[in-house]
Chain A
Amino acid sequence: MVISIAFLFCTLFARLFYLQIIQGSSLSTKAAEQWYRDLPLKAARGVIYDANGKILAENKDVYSVYVRPNAVTDIYEVASALSQNLGLSFDKLYDRISTERVSEITVKKAVDKETGERLRKLNLDGVYFTIDSKRNYPEGNLLSQIIGFTNIDSVGQSGLEGYYNKYLTGVDGFAYTETDIKGVEIDGAATKYVPGIPGCNITLTIDANIQSFAESAVMDAKVEWKSKSASMIVMDCTSGAIVAAAITPSYDLNDIPRDDINLLNALTKNTLIVDVYEPGSTFKTFTGAIALENGVSEKAMHYCKGYHMVDGQRIRCWKTIGHGSQSLTDGFKNSCNVVFMDLALSLGTERLYDGLQAFGFGQKTKVDFYGESAGIIMNESSVKTVDLARIGFGQAIAVTPLQMVTAFSAVVNGGTLYEPYFVESIDSYDGRNVFTHQKKVVRQVISEQTSEKMRDYLSVVVSEGSGKKAQVEGYSVGGKTGTAQKYGSSGVAQGKYVSSFIGAAPIDDPKYVVLMIVDEPGGYVYYGSMTATPYAGRVYAKIADYLGVSVQILAPTIEMPELTDVSLADAINIINELGLYYELVGEGTKVVSTIPVAGSMIPEGDVVLLRLG
């Protein structure tokens, strides 16, 4: 009896030894997990700067308010104080605190600092606070589709906030508090703090000044032409850095329409990268560059009789009465479709496609942004001669605005295609450099000589042709206008145009490539030369001013003459005498109306629109 009892006790002691000594540390670790309540200390998210160090996205201290129902001594007091200060329903709150069977209720997040501190001073039992940081965008609407936003927990959702979320996010810290099983803090227990590590700061290639020029340009264009939208992208063509990217309509990053998902999707979409548009005549730049690169004679003359017969199909030039005999320079200046059809046809599908592919069309640019589109380009094998001719002057192809500026940069910068990018550098919170962008050359597309010739042609377009309104006194601009009919699901969308201008300045040593797009201008004026070009001019003027290049924007003004019911030939003579340029709409021999109307004061050298009937 004695022995068996002793044996049993020894067995139990051995079991105790196993639990307390051998398993001790693992058991006590597990036990410790339930002894502490840890409240996360949100690590600050990285700051986003523009190229000059201006803050585009930062953090603001906000409070999160929690209630541990078991620690609440006076539910009425707590519920009334919280509901009054946080604008919540008293009944709902009272109900939650008294009935919810959870140890902790999150009452409200992102409570502003002032309210949080006021509540804190009330010293309510069972109410706890953590200080979080909320994203704050000092510039509001500026660059909203590019920067993107975070969710309420500061996780990047869209735009650069989303793409660079991994870098911007810090490592959260914790506050450990000793509590009982219900989460009630134990008297005299110390709270241990493990501080968080802030996220990395990001410096963009965006220059907030130029961005603001672009923003006001697109807003003006949208209002003035009652367009569906307007957008502009500015690229440093010597590196591929995106200097400005503006889209209107836009939204305030500090007041995101999270409740309306359709509106949110529409407003937050970065159409410059994820959407395609019809480039129209601006695309002639590439046909021209590829033709020159392939040794097509510059001297050859073309004849425009208002259309071109291709495989028995009549493809019209925009000027139905024809441009007559045209050199390549004339072709650019007058944006003659026939000239570029000729070029495309003489190149042939293979050479044109090789060139377009070398410029990056039909491929993603690999920009540091989610959701990029590759553009829409016909399958090479299914390109018929008619298609070839159309592509030559910018039809039957759709590109992203970003592809356009990237390729155009290569045309003017000496022929080098760079990978476009938004982020210049990433630095850790304590100033250590994590990443610095190195220029990424994709390939040499055309030779320096071809590029130089292209700069000349583009220069002429602005100085003498359809791009006149982009002229800036003392700052040489070169570029190309474009007007394209939009395509819907059932072919050409009648009356819907997308008008654009793409240019580079200073044209002899290009730095900034600007693409201005006015999408579906309202009314019957839709030409790129009228609707898009002037805004590019304004932006260039501001850039020149900003860079300290001396400019005289004020040109002498003249009065618009009365041309209604005047024959086309006479009207052209009058316009030429006044030093104005013209574009024609419709068919006929007589002018039925003009824009601007007679009597308006317009700068010398302006382009006017003549409607024929």
Chain B
Amino acid sequence: MNKQAKGGKFDRALCIVTVCLVLFGIVMVYSASMYSAEINYGSEYYFMYKQMLGAVLGFAAIGLMSIIDYHFLEKWKYVILAISIILLVLVFIPGIGIESYGAKRWINLPFFSMQASEISKFGFIVFTASYMAKNNKMMVKFKGILPVLLVGGTICVLIILEPNMSITLCMIMLMLVMLYVGGARIKHFLILAVPLALLVPILIMIEPYRLNRLMAFLDPWQSPLGEGYQLIQSFYSLGSGGLFGLGLFNSRQKYLFLPFSESDFIFSIIGEELGLMGCFFVIAAFMFMIFRSILIAQKAPDRFGCYLASGIAAIIAIQVIVNIAVVTGSIPPTGLPLPFISAGSTSLIVFCAGIGVLENISRQSHRGVLFLSSGIAQNALDKKKDKQKVKKNKK
């Protein structure tokens, strides 16, 4: 298992685009937060320094994970899953969990606080990739996908209790994408769709503010100072940017008009300062990163690597799309950071680690596999390989 790949290599382009996005993120975090940081923390560099520390650790994570054989994760999957779930539980213990904006999402560590759900997303990916790789023949049956649903469901329930609706929805989407990649049947999705559809009104009943948010999304101008406020401010940012933007550091909305301008709504500030052109380049960079990750998944040396890479690509794609959809008012507003760019060390380090894992898979990949368009095709291909493996193991 520890064999080096047959001619695979470090994906330099993926690494460069990641580093570029992280560095760009530091600049934008500084720009977006300089005013609020000065007012709330006494230093305009407060968030930038934190983000720089996160970036250093993130780059270290890329390096480390690209060296460590990703199969290490498969071995330790139960430990990783256990840690993920324990962290999610720890959030609720007073003194360890930090409450902010009415939600318990962070764990207090000596040097910095950590968002538990960020870790659990990757814990889930590792577990699911490993499970699906081992039990790929079971995936066509409903019984086969149940363990994935069970683990995913547990994590979802813990996150929703924080409460954190947005990460929960991301988890559900991630789960569905991974099951799809793993070869689950469409009809099983439909079975899943029923309870999920029921979940929406239940969640709204638990926290009625969600309905207001939903309504605000449909017409934010109805409550410009209430639920619609944030969305309207985001529109103001984007609209003021126009084609070329107001210029780097020239955002006006960051003067406390746009809440969470350095985190969940940093894309609005990018749009305001750099215009549609800036948005285009950021979206292009993310698309490149995602497609590059999918390519790595397709070239992965084994099923676990493929699923793991797919999962990482999926979570990046999901978060980027949901985040931009939120700031542009395309879906109901929900707090979700933009990977690699939004202020937040946990998210940054974990995503960087994900890139590191992708690099390691890339290094171990084999040549000769042509472009394939979906995991199902990979599935078919893998079946052949598995037979060989089985033979090998028998020997």
Contact = CB atoms under 8 A, between A and B. Distances in A.
Contacts of B253: 31
B239 A181 contact: no
B243 A1 contact: no
Interface in A162-183: 178-182
B240 A27 contact: yes
Nearest to B314: A1
Contacts of A181: 255-257
A9 B279 contact: no
A181 B276 CA distance: 25
B242 A24 contact: yes
A15 B231 CA distance: 14
Contact of A31 (B240, B271, B373): B240
B291 A12 contact: no
A23 B287 contact: no
Interface stretch (B66-74, B91-99, B323-331): B323-331
A15 B236 contact: no
Contacts of B321: 5, 8-9, 12
B375 A1 contact: yes
Interface size classification for chain A? 20 to 34
B236 A21 contact: no
Contacts of A13: 279-280, 283
Given A5-B291, A35-B257, 15 more contacts: A5-B290, A13-B279, A13-B280, A15-B325, A16-B238, A16-B279, A20-B241, A20-B279, A23-B239, A27-B239, A30-B239, A32-B240, A180-B35, A180-B255, A180-B257
A142 to B, nearest CB: 51
Contact of B330 (A15, A28, A30, A178): A15
A193 interface: no
Contacts of B240: 24, 27-28, 31-32
A301 interface: no
A369 to B, nearest CB: 46
Nearest to A16: B279
Contacts of B294: 1-2
Nearest to B258: A181
B239 A20 contact: yes
B276 A35 contact: no
Nearest to A1: B374
A9 B328 contact: no
B276 A27 contact: no
A19 B373 contact: no
13 contacts: A3-B373, A9-B287, A13-B283, A16-B279, A17-B276, A19-B328, A20-B239, A23-B235, A27-B239, A28-B240, A32-B240, A180-B257, A186-B255
A15 B328 contact: yes
Contacts, number: 104
A495 B324 CA distance: 90
A400 B109 CA distance: 90
B242 A21 contact: yes
A34 interface: yes
A25 B374 CA distance: 42
A26 interface: yes
Nearest to B257: A181
A31 B328 CA distance: 16
Contacts of B35: 180
B252 interface: yes
A16 B235 CA distance: 10
Given A31-B239, A31-B253, A16 B375 contact: no
A12 to B, nearest CB: 5
Contacts of A186: 255
A8 B317 CA distance: 10
Contacts of B332: none
A6 interface: yes
A19 B287 contact: no
B152 interface: no
A170 B276 CA distance: 44
B239 A24 contact: yes
A188 to B, nearest CB: 12
A102 to B, nearest CB: 14
B291 A2 contact: yes
A19 B286 CA distance: 21
Nearest to A3: B373
Contact of B276 (A20, A25, A30, A34): A20
B259 to A, nearest CB: 10
